[in-house]
Structure 1
Amino acid sequence: MRSTEIKDTEYFPYYKQYINLVSKLPLIEALQLGSEQTHQFFNSIPASKLHYQYDAGKWTPKEILLHLIDTERVFCYRALYFARNENSSIEGFDENIFGANCNANSRDLKDLLHEYKSVREATLTFFKSLTDQDLRKGGKANNNLLSVRAIGFIICGHEIHHRGVIEERYL
């Protein structure tokens, strides 16, 4: 399954920006490639930039990495919930509350990258276990329709988006 197979009716229009960033790779390959690229990318950021904020109130690169981790966990939970309980509805989450309470800047980058890798491995294991029928299931998250397969590509695109933001505004 590739991102080009996802129909616009399978996700809230806001997420199109993320899905469009994913190449035409199958989902599992996109998740694997994203893991490698994100790990290399964060390792390449100079230590002097890991706590940098380009403007007051903006996240640091370390906080963005933990945001990616937290968001992947939330989206995988949504995918699990919909795959096991189709047409259900779950609440949204406030990324700013998560960010304000993450303590990323007090953590070592190696530790954050280890957590990232662990979460991505769990994501890969989960998505590999799903059938085509499971991937087509969906529900509502924060009152918006979302399919399981769209969630996988949103995770990939969200990661690409934030790497781009760091490259543009932090480095």
Structure 2
Amino acid sequence: MTIKDLNENEFDPYYGRYIHKLSEHIELTEGFQNGKTKVFQFFNSMPENKLSHRYASGKWSIKEILQHLVDTERIFMYRCFRIARNDKTPLAGFDQNIYMSPSGADNKPIDLLLNEFTATRYASIALLDSLSAEDLNCIGKSNGGAMSARAAAFTIIGHDIWHMDTIKEKYL
């Protein structure tokens, strides 16, 4: 299943900013596997003195962004799972900012954050491997809009790219 199979009616336009970061030839599971390597290498290559850097007051540090990627993947894979299981219960959105302070990301060693990312990614890949194309095509309600299970998953890959691009542009 590739991104070109995804229809615009499978996700809220807000998520297009992430989904449209992806090549039309990207395959879902392969995208998760390749993304795992890219995200790991990107954050692992950061100089220690940059990891707590904020480009402006009130902005997240690089460690906090990595924690945000983990948190977001967990939430979107939960959405993917519920929708793929044909659960029609509307799924709530989440306020990403309230997650940051209790995460303690800036006090975690980068190795711990990278292990958390890797474990989360492996769990996501295992879930995707267990779902059929029919499961991934299911559409539910998430954050007030339509979302297919596969759109929830593709959003994660694009979201990672979005934030790595932001770090390159504003932090380094």
Structure 1 length-normalised TM: 0.97
- Alignment RMSD: 0.9
Amino acid at match of 2:131: L
- Listed one character per residue, the Cα deviations across residues 27-72 of structure 1 (whole Å, up to 9, x for unaligned) are 0111111100000000111111000000000000000000000000
The corresponding residue for 1:155 is 156
Distance 2:79 2:167 in 1: 27
Report what 1:16 is aligned to: 16
Measured in 2, the distance between the counterparts of 1:69 and 1:2 equals: 23
Cα deviation, residue 158, structure 1: 0.1
| Most deviating of 13-22 and 105-114 | 13-22
Tell me if 1:68 matches 2:81: no
8 Å contact from structure 1 (residues 87, 137) kept in 2: no
Residue of structure 2 in register with 1:6 after alignment: 6
**Structure 1 CA distance, aligned partners of 2:15 and 2:143?**
13
CA shift, 1:88, in A, is 2.5
- Cα displacement (A) at 1:124: 0.2
Moved more, 150-159 or 85-94: 85-94
Query: Residue 122 of structure 2 corresponds to which residue in structure 1?
Result: 121
1:127-149 deviation digits (Å, cap 9, x = unpaired):
11101110011211111110001
Aligned equivalents of 1:109, 1:70: Cα separation in 2: 15
| Contact 1:53-1:170 at 8 Å conserved across structures | yes
Instruction: State how far apart, in whole Å, the 1-side matches of 2:92 and 2:39 are.
Output: 28
Q: Give the gaps of 5 or more residues in structure 2.
A: none
Provide, for residues 99-143 of structure 1, a one-character-per-residue CA deviation record: whole Å limited to 9, x for no partner. 232100000000000000000000000011101110011211111
Structure 1 counterpart of 2:26: 25
Q: Which residue matches 2:167?
A: 166
Farther-moved stretch of structure 1 (82-91 vs 23-32) = 82-91
Give 1:35's aligned residue: 36
What secondary structure, in the 3-state scheme, does the structure 2 residue paired with 1:81 have? helix
Alpha-carbon deviation of 1:85? 3.1
What's the CA shift for 1:17?
A: 1.3
Compute the displacement of 1:4 (Å). 1.3
Q: Is the Cα contact below 8 Å between 1:22 and 1:30 reproduced in 2?
A: no
C-alpha distance in 1 between matches for 2:92 and 2:20: 25
**What's 1:100 paired with?**
101
Distance 2:4 2:170 in 1: 29
Identity fraction in percent = 42
For the residue of structure 2 that corresponds to 1:146, the secondary structure is strand
CA contact (8 A) 1:86 1:138 kept: no
Please identify runs of 4+ aligned residues in structure 1 that moved more than 3 A.
none
Could you tell me which residue of structure 1 aligns to residue 90 of structure 2? 89
Unaligned stretches of 5+ residues in structure 1:
none
Is the partner of 1:122 in helix, strand or coil?
helix
TM superposition shift of 1:22: 1.4
